Chain A
């Protein structure tokens, strides 16, 4: 991060050092003289505080992860990750004397017989839901701002890995208590794995250590959940933050903000209180929710037993899209060929969801290839200034949302008095049509907003004040913009479709042709920002 002092040395002019940055400098000096850690203090003490709320979503994820770590550690003291059968003798009357696994019994003990245990379980689970939700929103923010562009593509991929790891952590954790609901969830995973052609059954046996459910799965998931996945997660998180510091944060366009600096208020005195407090705010919200709202009432679900199935079995929200995919496959896709059963009702959603996820992961590279844009970017793009990307994003969000809604199709049906078939068929149609409609609408809206911006940049705001000219003509006075606002409106890069040129041998390869077509699709509809010349002549008008 660059401080205000640093920014004065960059090309663009900014205000003189504020009191805040002088204080920062003093702190840095004091510590540096004693520890020589100026590098670190500079980075952290002078970290520029983000000036837009959406830049704080990553922090929300980080803080909920800390809440997860703390509560999870508490749970490990009391949780017993084995499937040994025991008879429950704890204080919950509803399950007294019932045979169950030690995992389930110990989770009941945490809930009913260990002081603070239930709160910790609820903190752990609510924080997990918040964690994944914050990551999701954070990813959307980065996507719609184009903040994944060079040099940040790698950090996008790392962030994506974090998202997948978080879902993995959630799913393994969800299955640990060995209750009926999580067992049903595992059964679905088992079914999906078995649906993989040829190798499926083998993989399932490997995973569960024999026939489902076996007695091995809980200890195995436990190792994954508290050891392997968190270790990778913490490492990836460290890398993610490190790259963020190295690449610096993106910023919205404004006077003095260029691709070569970062402008903002240094974190140290001004915002330190607010920002430091923010951790406690996130933590506080989690604990408040956990004290007042039940989550995963496993005592209602009973111990896992393969025979009962509950109506309305759903996974946690972040796995919902996969469940929705399974619910939306049309029937009749299973057939026998060459002595094997081909369960396309399972393979198809696996392929579609797999493709979707891979597309998300590699999107920065796809876009860079299509646009041929190899420049570095540090300015946060306003979504409207990249209409095609915003439209793609809207389509993706719609696709995901429909899958997500499908995971609750039964609840939609009972609560809105619809038939489950009507809900399923509507969602099937929406899954295809929804993204297309969202794409078209988002693109139109972006272009319209761009047009409005251009209009305002050139002519100012409509003031609503009418004047009569000497010739009798009526005219509305337009209020000119100040520089700050105008900057925001006109400072964006205007791309043009790629011109594909023949290669050294004078030929245009088919790949390049495809690229040209894609590039034209990406950029053909655009509104150029008002140019300097236009602005100047425009200013003369009113």
Chain B
């Protein structure tokens, strides 16, 4: 009987040790690759302007394997995808870096999927597309630090972006199933690239429209909003009065009705 329990316990122990160990391993693995990845991205993006021929060749291969079905072997476009001449490295970096390309299916709006490529591969494809025709490059690091004028950025954001993305960047609906996504947690470089390339239904904000400094301000504002928890407490998804109304009906009035039921309950 005693041995039985002890084997039993051991069995459970090993059963427990197993997943724990693998979780720890995965965490360590993720952390180290993530760290390395972060280091690599900074260096890689600084180098994109001086793309090597090797990188272009590498990019062409990746493109041919993953993108050519829709964009054509020479990236000149087919009926399934537009020409990529002149879209620039910024567009490729945004589309692949946010998981939009390769496109999964034709819907009202290309969806975001988990990333399929490393940043290095993305840089290669970007170099390849940039080598075909000139276009907006991947933004300079100095605009992405998030240390520019937050207040001014807020104002620019409210005038230029809030009508689609909502004042708090919570996102919003457009017509026919299209939508402006929430901007929570979007990387600075992707915000910049979105502005210069205008993905899908978003307009292009050229440098004459919003100077690079303005864009840096907007990025700083969005970063500021992301990093600062709401001073008032839990923000209920930032959806404004709709979530507030639902909350008060369900939890506020709900709690109080519960109390009234308790008060009027007859002791039996």
Contact = CB atoms under 8 A, between A and B. Distances in A.
A305 B234 CA distance: 27
B230 A129 contact: no
A180 B155 CA distance: 11
Interface in B168-216: 168, 170-177, 179-180
A54 B233 CA distance: 31
B247 interface: yes
Contacts of B232: 111, 118, 122, 293-295, 297
Which of A51, A292, A419 has the most CB atoms of chain B within a 10 A radius of its CB? Answer: A419
Nearest to A311: B172
A294 B173 contact: no
Interface stretch (A31-39, A95-103, A218-226): A95-103
Interface string A155-179: 0000000000000000000000000
Nearest to A56: B260
User: Interface residues of B toward A: which range?
Assistant: 35 or more
B230 A93 contact: no
B256 interface: yes
A408 B242 contact: yes
B253 A95 contact: no
Interface string A285-311: 110010111111101111001011111
Given A129-B252, A295-B232, A311-B171, A407 B225 contact: no
Chain A interface mostly: helix
A271 interface: yes
Which of A50, A295, A418 has the most CB atoms of chain B within a 10 A radius of its CB? Answer: A295
Contacts of B260: 53-54, 56-57, 60, 278
Given A112-B231, A285-B255, A419-B177, A320 B248 contact: no
Contact of A311 (B159, B162, B225): B162
A310 B167 contact: yes
B245 interface: yes
A301 B230 CA distance: 13
Interface in A390-426: 407-411, 413-414, 417-422
A408 B244 CA distance: 12
Chain B interface mostly: helix
Given A294-B235, A297-B232, A320-B245, A311 B263 contact: no
Contacts of A413: 173, 177, 179
Contacts of A98: 151-152, 154-155
A386 interface: no
Interface stretch (A10-18, A130-138, A341-349, A510-518): A130-138
B248 A420 contact: no
A114 to B, nearest CB: 13
B241 A297 contact: no
B150 A311 contact: no
B86 interface: no
Given A94-B154, A292-B234, A316-B244, A411 B256 contact: no
Contact of B172 (A57, A312, A318): A312
A112 B228 CA distance: 14
Contact of B239 (A282, A307, A312, A317): A312
B46 interface: no
A5 interface: no
A414 B172 contact: yes
Contacts of A315: 241
A281 B234 CA distance: 22
Nearest to B155: A98
Given A310-B163, A313-B240, 19 more contacts: A53-B264, A54-B260, A57-B260, A60-B253, A126-B248, A130-B248, A137-B253, A285-B259, A286-B252, A294-B236, A300-B230, A308-B158, A309-B162, A312-B166, A312-B173, A314-B240, A316-B244, A413-B173, A422-B177
11 contacts: A51-B264, A52-B264, A57-B257, A129-B248, A130-B253, A134-B256, A137-B257, A310-B158, A311-B163, A317-B242, A414-B171
Shortest 7 CB-CB contacts between residues of A and residues of B: A311-B172, A317-B245, A294-B232, A419-B177, A410-B173, A53-B260, A310-B167
